[in-house]
Amino acid sequence: MTRRKKWIVSGIFVLAVILVGVFISASLMAKRVEPSIKKAAIKYLRERFESEVELASLQIHVPPALPLRLLFGGGRGSLAQVEGSHLVLRHRGRTDVPPLFAIDRFQFDIDIGALIDNPKTVSRVTLDGLEIQIPPKGERPNLGSRSDPSGTPATKVSSEVVIEEILVRNAHLTIIPRDKAKVPLGFDIHDLRMESVGQNIAMMYTATLTNPKPKGEVHSTGTFGPWMAAEPGDSPLRGAYQFKDADLSIFKGIAGILQSTGEFEGTLSSITTRGQATVPDFRLKRAGNPLPLTTHFEVLVDGTNGNTELHPVVATLGTTHFTTTGFIIKHDGDERKTISLVASMPAGNLRDVLMLAMKGPPILEGTLRLNTAIGIPPLDKKVKGKLLLDGTFEVTNGKFLRSRIQQKIDALSHHGRGKEKDEEVDEVVHRMSGEFKMADESLTFRTLAFAIPGAAINIGGEFDLAEDKLDFHGALMLDARASETQNGWKRWLLKPFDPLFSKRGVGTFLHIKVNGSTRDPQFGLDPGGTSPVEEAEKTVAK
């Protein structure tokens, strides 16, 4: 072997020894720094979140060249990769509620050369499989008290670690209600990125999550924090959101695809949201007639129980404007929520409302003034069987759109004014008003009054929406006398009886009934019947 070859072989051998030494040094260094990193991480988590920490595994991967860099004084900037699994944080050591945080896997890089710094800076932490369980407010014991399982006194948080960025994949946020019988409110968060600008300062975030009901994708940006360790539910949250392609058909009785944008602020336990929503094809499943619906709203959501308070919601259905206020709450003993609203429609398009509520084309058009209470008890049955209404309405400039009904109205107007059949009449219902209640798919009118040229009707009764059946009884009042409603010899025959039918200041007063259906109503005399006005007078007299 030549001298040159001997030098080459010797050099390779020395290099191999150096590399083995470097790897051994790196391994020894990893084992040496692992306890200090683990101790610092657990200390940070325990103090920051006031929680007992359980960590299944922690591994440190040190760059092989790090020992050489440290040897020659260039250790700073050498990043060691830290990986861990099955990290659990139990708020104040409690085992009677789910863990505050549970993480399947986590990873971050740390500058080994800067471990002596305070605070220690971690540029990025990546979490995968994060479960966040926010406990109910007001039920958490004080640290150091007899009711505190950890028995650890409270300490002021002065973190020695600053995390600049957090990346989260596959997270789930759950707000635990006070009542253990209630279903927790949950959100699936696909991707979450948070940036920190310092200790005890709100973090900027970008998130993509799935709303549970109605199910749809939400993209949100804003700020979160600072984290309130004593009351996690009080941690501030604010931002803006876009809610896309939410399918309302998950709810019984309604359908349509919802799009919404808005802003929100509050805490994890209580959030106020202001925004707008559009449903281009909103419809009741029973009727199936789609109408565009737009709303501008402000709502307050209690994250601990899911109860929602609607501040004035301004909505447009088709061309009709109305406002709604009320609550969506869960009463003690109920399995589901109850909807309780008040709706006001000062000048709506009656055609829009009837198209939404009834199958087929609407039977009446006009201007609708409506004030009603709306109640929907817990939705364990169909909405149409649960919908409760109680209110008043008034229709002006109304006109029946089905020719058979309008023909009967026209004939009544002819008789009421004493006109010949071939004389023109104004085919308009001047005014229709009433008081109504709805329950079990039956619409009950305490009073239903409408006026046409020459005649007025005041009736009350029930309209079976499921069967399309009418059962109304009341009074017909005509301007003309009884004899004036007829022609030829019948007019002369009835003249002696005019005083019998003329009372209450009108030419003719008759008790009537209306049966049949909205497609083919049947009008007839109702001997011995009464009208809602007469019933009210009897009640007052008693």
Mean pLDDT over each residue of the chain, to the nearest integer? 76
pLDDT for 426 beyond 90:
no
pLDDT for 432 beyond 60:
yes
* Cα(535)–Cα(460) distance, integer angstroms: 10
pLDDT digits (tens, 9 = 90+) for 157-212: 455 677 888 899 888 888 777 766 666 777 788 889 988 756 677 889 999 887 77
Q: How confident is the model at residue 72 (pLDDT cuts 50, 70, 90)?
A: very low
Q: How confident is the model at residue 316 (pLDDT cuts 50, 70, 90)?
A: very high
pLDDT digits (tens, 9 = 90+) for 237-290: 899 999 988 888 877 777 889 899 999 998 877 889 999 999 999 887 777 788
pTM of the model: 0.65
Per mean pLDDT, which range of 16-20, 331-335, 486-490 is the poorest? 16-20
Of 238, 240, 297, 296, the C-alpha closest to 271 is 238
| φ, ψ dihedrals at 453, nearest 5° | -55, 120
The pLDDT score that the predictor gives to residue 40 is 77
Q: What distances in angstroms separate CA 404 from CA 338, 367, 408, 520, one per listed residue?
A: 41, 22, 7, 7
Q: What is the mean pLDDT of residues 425-440?
A: 74
Taking a C-beta distance cutoff of 8 angstroms, is the pair 237, 222 a contact?
Answer: yes
Q: Three-state SS for 483? A: helix
Q: How confident is the model at residue 26 (pLDDT cuts 50, 70, 90)?
A: very low
* Cα(115)–Cα(40) distance, integer angstroms: 10
Taking a C-beta distance cutoff of 8 angstroms, is the pair 208, 198 a contact?
Answer: no
Higher pLDDT: 266 or 143? It is 266
Q: How confident is the model at residue 494 (pLDDT cuts 50, 70, 90)?
A: confident
The pLDDT score that the predictor gives to residue 270 is 84
Q: What is the mean pLDDT of residues 411-427?
A: 57
Higher pLDDT: 33 or 130? It is 130
Q: Three-state SS for 463? A: strand
Q: Three-state SS for 141? A: coil
Q: What is the mean pLDDT of residues 405-415?
A: 64
The pLDDT score that the predictor gives to residue 146 is 36
Higher pLDDT: 455 or 329? It is 455
* Cα(186)–Cα(210) distance, integer angstroms: 9
The pLDDT score that the predictor gives to residue 28 is 47
pLDDT for 9 beyond 60:
no
